[in-house]
Amino acid sequence: MLRPSQFTIKVRIIASMVVMVVVSTLVVVWYITGRTTADARDTGFAYAGEVAQRNAAEVREVVLSGLGTARDMAQVLDASRSTPGSGPSRPARSR
């Protein structure tokens, strides 16, 4: 039969081993989680930048086409205003 002092030493050794394994596991999980979070953040920002550039190009195209249409209409209206007999006369705007 085991004496109480030997049993206590065995329990202490087992308990310390369990604590060491748990602490080691927590440290490894903490490190991996930190690295994964940092990598995910960097990847997310890179992807957001790519999407923003792609969408900015599409929006720029739409806006510039609208500005081109407005510019063309302004030229047509200016030309029709300067043509005699093309409609009611209006005073010229100063620019």
Q: Where are the beta strands (DSSP E) in 1-95?
A: none
| pLDDT for the residue 84 | 66
Q: What is the pLDDT tens value at each position of the chain, 95 positions in all?
A: 555 556 688 889 999 999 999 999 999 999 999 999 999 999 999 999 999 998 998 888 888 888 888 888 888 888 888 776 655 556 666 65
Residue 90 covered by a domain? no
Report if residue 27 sits inside a domain: yes
> What is the domain range of residue 34?
13-78
86 lies in some domain: no
Q: What is the pLDDT of residue 37?
A: 94
Q: What is the pTM of this model?
A: 0.45
Q: Is 87 part of any domain? A: no
In a domain, 52, yes or no: yes
Give the CA distances from residue 4 to residues 9, 10, 11, 44, 81, in Å, rounded to whole numbers and listed in that order.
Answer: 9, 10, 10, 59, 112
Domain total of the chain: 1
Q: Is residue 6 part of a domain?
A: no
Q: Is residue 72 part of a domain?
A: yes
Q: Chain-wide mean pLDDT for the chain?
A: 84
